[in-house]
Chains A and B, each alone.
Chain A
Amino acid sequence: MPLRFVNMIKLTIDHIPVEVQEGITVMEAAATLGISIPSMCFHPGFSNHPSCMVCIVKDTARDNFVPSCALPVSEGMNILTGTEEVRKARKEALELLLSDHIGDCEAPCRLSCPAFMDIPLMNRLIATGDFHQALHIVREEIALPLILGYICPAPCEKACKRKPIDAAVSICLLKRATAQYQDRADSIVPDLIKGNGKRVAIVGTGPAGLSAAFWLLRTGHACVLFDQHEKAGGALRYSISEERLPKEMLDAEINTIRDMGAEFHLNIPINKDFFQHEILSGFDAVILATGNLTSTLADAFGIQPDSTGSFINKRDFTTSLAGVFACGNIIREQKMAVHSVAQGKMAAMQVGVYLGTSVGKMEQDESDNAANMQADREARNRNPVSMTGHLFEQEWAEYMKDSIPDPRLEPMGGILEGFTREEAMHEAKRCLHCDCRKPVSCKLRLYAGEYGANRKRYAGSERKRLTRSINHEQVVYETEKCIRCGLCVEITEKHGEMIGLTFAGRGFDVHIAVPFNETVREALTVTAWECVEACPTGALAYKTKEERDK
């Protein structure tokens, strides 16, 4: 055999000259420079037939836009991968895909919850009887599930997609049930991480203060809560009647926080002197959760208004004093306690950023921008890239496949008594599982978020009707979440599935279908895993796996 020399190609990527082997793609060439290009339909080892066009780059040598995942390098190319123009083209591709992507990144109940609590996941855990894990999920966002389980006006239930079908899932009572039905007495107190030596003072013991304390304690801080009243609880104790919220329940949840290590200093009027000498000098950080902050009080504490006249930055909860934060009604009069609970958590997280004691994902963001990045991420989660809106009547049956047809359950013992364990498990099964099964790995969500794609920009005149196929043991297939990349078709073909999947139709109506009207169960006998892994969206997803990993 004669020696074969590999031809080398010279090109420029983002103004950097590079020499690469002939035959590789522009995307691969960019990777050699550490430049990563987003793509949804690209999958190593497959036919590489570009369809999503999210990997688009500009070749200024030829003045055209090309899909980098499939275009082989050629001599003299001058590729730009990250200019405003290129980003705009990608954003447009994503916006077009979004306009034809029917599904919800997050369930409407969660989106309408001021605390962004993962309600559908809670429901699914309750349905299986796993109250322990359900409580854990609830307290990721809501520190006071028992209290809110009595008093929350439940905006989530107004948004529930089950509501027009018969009646909303009884979410508020289910949340209460997570706190009611713990197998072991000590399971009420969550696991805490090792103490980090930082001490935080929290002024005020209403929902915002308690919530902030809960989160700070969990993440290893020492907390001292101050209140001018005789008992802790703030507005929860002094503005809500026994008929709505039994004091016994309030005390129980305050005790949980005490059991987590919180010190309560009650009956202490918080004046200028006390604030300056006891609080400011004695703690590493302070959270003001006093319900209101008059200019006299602010002045007394030494807090200066900002350019807009506001004492508190509503974005990161800081004040003019370093290390002093504020949350709850002190920011704005809230009608719902759940708002204050949500802010308590967010203020606590900002304290973590300030003290350098953040845990989990927060640890990775060590830059000065950590707070802003966190805020961005929160905002992005709360503004999901895809939302379906109301269901059409013919879609009800599709969603009911994941549910039970029974009517909304009213607790036998009355509202104050709440659900029994069994009632809760039954009611939770009514949830329709509106949320995406691939909240983490969906590339459309990832890139659309990253590029700020607006799902409404190219919204069609009428959206397609969604369908849901659940007859496969492990896999759910939702046609209208598909971006028509065809990876699954190729995978089933490669593995010689007897039935497999195919493209059906043409043009805008093209979709992935099972030949001869067979079911997904017949189509994916050995390739379910590979298809789900390759699918860039939630169109093909495991029934359960990803949410457990979340």
Chain B
Amino acid sequence: MGISNTNITEKIDLIIARHGTTVDAVIPILQDIQAEFNYLPEPALKRVCDITDISPARISGISTFYNQFRQRPAGRHRIRVCTGTACHVKGALFVYEAFRREMKLEEGEDTDASLIFTIEKAACLGCCTLAPVVRIDEVTYGHVKPDSVGDLLHDFLSKMKEAPSDIYQDNSPQSAFQGEIRIGLGSCCVASGSYEVKAELERTLAQAKIRVDVQQVGCVGICNLVPIMEILKPGELPAYYAKIKPEEVKEVLLSHFKPEGKYNRLRNGFYNLFEKLLANGAPKSFRKYMGEQRDTPLSKFLGPQVNIATENRGVINPIDIQGYRQAGGFGSLKKCLSEMTPQQVVDEIRESGLRGRGGAGFPTGLKWQLVKDQDVPEKFVICNGDEGDPGAFMDRMLLESYPFRIIEGMLIAGYATGAAHGIFYIRAEYPLAVMRISEAIRICRENGILGTSILNSGFSFDVSVFKGAGAFVCGEETALIASMEGNRGLPRMRPPYPAFRGFRGQPTLINNTETLSLVPWILHHGAIAFSKIGTSGSKGTKVFALAGKVKRGGLIEVPMGITIRQIVEEIGGGIAGDRQFKAVQIGGPSGGCLPASAADMQIDFEALKAAGTMMGSGGLIVLDESDCMVDIACYFLSFTQNQSCGRCTFCRIGTRRMLEILTKIRSGKGTDEDLNTLESLAVSTTRGSLCGLGKTAPNPVLTTLHYFRAEYESHLRGQCPAGKCLPLIHYEVTEECIGCTKCAQRCPSDAITFKPYEVHSIDLEKCIKCDICRQICPVNAITVR
């Protein structure tokens, strides 16, 4: 690489000037170096050591710990294949392997020879309903098929060549607004093309001189129907257009709004187009639902939900402070500052029964009380937004969509506990969340919501943002603090708990993003109102990312106490296709799998724990009969095993050995003894690990062993009943084959011998089990045995 050393020196010195020379600046400095060079060149790191307090040992230790940092040059474009749970069950690994083949990568390589693309697996891109999902730089592709990855790369490169088109905007304030259009711009909406829809919308509005207020709103949660556009017009029921495409925008728009008279010619042009479309009877991909209409998929999806953390979902613009205020925002803060003592606030939270939404469910009021009771001048409040579970993106959605609400929650927590500093810990992989929160912080400062003497109360509080560098273990509070202090993200022994000795040795309140976002509602409506929702031990609501084999996935907020069956069948609309509901995976890698027979269980911290799983941060993946439970256990364990900090023996080595045994079982070579060793090691690892990651990592194994032991035993006999474990399956062509040669043309290993119009056959020696033939066959003539 042609980077000269003087060049590096200058750039590094600028970066250090931004972040300072203390050891706790190491992560921000490395993040900037990585942004500058696409990796961490060694001369750059040495320069940092030369002019800061950061030692070679520290910088090496940090740069090899976090996922974000690279030691080798990366390609110009970054391909991230989502391997979140929903994508996993929909064949993400086939896609990943297909990219690697396309890029001609050897084992251990992640970048193609011409340094164009670098490929990596992403824990979750948060577009579960579009699974399998791939993101190249900022472009997201949904429903990716292994046989189309080559086309996809070409498509991406050709788009790169196009100059971004300017959007013509008309800002003349001449006529009255005819209505309002809301369009969701959460990450998943964007991934499904909502920016394109919005661009088309603005272009059409401008050309037709239609005066409509276009509101960008946060995640609407109805991820299964995105992009979704809502049209509000005085005197009409709200209309929702689901799965709308840019080319359909004009038509929809003109069916609601009339262009201005003097643009008749233009209008006529549109009408003509509209007429033509109608006359042609061209199939429309979008679906229209009217608000308050019953029995639509939309109303069923939204019906059982209760919106507290996601209050005003799909209504307010995330960074419109006026909108937030009009909807009652900052009212709770005002109430606290003007009418309540800090102890009263703590009491209110305690009486509400709120428990931490990060997974373990520690009583929030008690945590606040502990921090409040520390008689020291400096305390901190940290919002834990280091979400990293595969298949969970609640925190990201909340941060992106409701930044003011979370800031308000944090301010209330600061007031109650006597802290003056707040820190948002958000992983750098969530750029939109970081941007929205940073923007919201700036707006709050301008409006006197942050800073000295907030709302003239005498209470001062300010916040900053720390970008996590990508380590799942940093969700553990002591590891999170370690990383903020410029260390490797290693959890430490508790006690002392952060409430006593936390960030910089000071009492520190660490609350999950969702927990903080519930706080303003509780203060507004009162503890009793909150505690009326839910079960005896678990109050309020919980946000889940519902995905997998349900008809309707998305982000949902449901009252505690709702049954799993209600979620799967009512909200999710049941299992897609004609398959059987088999299990749900709750709580991500720390949680476990519950069989369909346990679906009447209520969502409740204790009930889930008793069943061997846990609330976790809220992934809820529905599995059907085609999912192999050994594969699922292996999938989650390989995630935690990879994310272990490597500090304590049971987690570092125990999870690895468990994974090896699972791999052996999946290859049909397992024995009864292996199953026993697996089980006993799972129990020992739960018992002997230092932090929550290790203690809960065996849960997916233990629950599947408990509920689906027969499936493990089948594997010992060399059979994978669901046909998922590659070493135990092979592909075959059935008599249904029509001899179309499609599969043979696409087979990457030339394993399919064919004569046109005759039944093909697969050479098992050559077959690499990439699944392409099965997916491409027009008559489902490829089976897995």
Contacts and interface: CB of A to CB of B under 8 A. Distances in A.
Contacts of B677: 457-458
Interface in A459-515: 460-461, 483-484, 489, 492-493, 497-510, 513, 515
B436 interface: no
A53 B694 CA distance: 13
A458 B653 contact: yes
B687 interface: yes
A516 interface: yes
A508 B652 contact: yes
B649 A499 contact: no
Interface stretch (B8-16, B53-61, B155-163, B379-387): B53-61
A74 interface: yes
B652 to A, nearest CB: 6
A89 interface: yes
A507 B61 contact: no
Contact of A501 (B57, B488, B684, B690): B57
A503 B64 CA distance: 8
B653 A508 contact: yes
Interface stretch (A27-35, A95-103, A276-284): A95-103
A135 B649 CA distance: 42
A220 B147 CA distance: 84
A421 B477 CA distance: 66
A525 to B, nearest CB: 13
B684 A506 contact: no
Interface string A36-61: 00000000000011111110100000
Interface stretch (B357-365, B390-398, B412-420, B657-665): B657-665
B646 A509 contact: yes
Contacts of A49: 490, 492-493, 647
Contacts of A328: none
Contact of A507 (B46, B643, B660, B688): B643
B698 interface: no
A362 interface: no
Nearest to A510: B646
Interface string A44-85: 000011111110100000001101001110100000000000
A92 interface: yes
B173 interface: no
B86 interface: no
Contacts of A460: 656-657, 660
B641 interface: yes
Given A89-B684, A506-B646, A509-B646, A50 B57 contact: no
Contact of B653 (A100, A498, A503): A100
A70 B691 CA distance: 13
B45 interface: yes
Given A49-B493, A458-B681, A506 B657 contact: no
B650 A96 contact: yes
Given A52-B649, A70-B493, A508-B653, A461 B60 contact: no
A51 B56 CA distance: 23
A93 interface: yes
A500 B644 contact: no
Given A50-B493, A506-B644, A65 B688 contact: yes
A340 B57 CA distance: 55
B60 A504 contact: yes
Nearest to A523: B57
Interface string A177-217: 00000000000000000000000000000000000000000
Contacts of A492: 57
A51 B647 contact: yes
B427 to A, nearest CB: 15
Contacts of B654: 96, 458
A502 B488 CA distance: 10
A504 B61 contact: yes
A507 B641 contact: yes
A67 B690 CA distance: 8
B527 interface: no
Contacts of B641: 507-508
A96 B65 contact: no
B64 A461 contact: no
A499 B660 contact: no
A56 B653 contact: no
B645 interface: yes
Interface in A122-140: none
Interface of A: 48-54, 56, 64-65, 67, 70-72, 74, 89, 92-93, 96-97, 99-100, 457-458, 460-461, 483-484, 489, 492-493, 497-510, 513, 515-516
Given A49-B647, A503-B61, A507-B641, 4 more contacts: A71-B495, A96-B649, A504-B64, A506-B471
Interface of B: 42, 45-46, 55-61, 64-65, 471, 488, 490, 492-493, 495-496, 641-650, 652-657, 660, 663-664, 677, 681, 684, 687-688, 690
Q: Which 4 pairs of residues, A with B, have the shortest CB-CB distance?
A: A510-B646, A515-B56, A502-B57, A515-B60
20 contacts: A50-B690, A53-B649, A53-B688, A67-B493, A72-B496, A99-B657, A458-B657, A458-B677, A460-B657, A461-B660, A492-B57, A502-B56, A502-B58, A502-B61, A506-B644, A506-B646, A508-B655, A509-B646, A510-B646, A516-B45
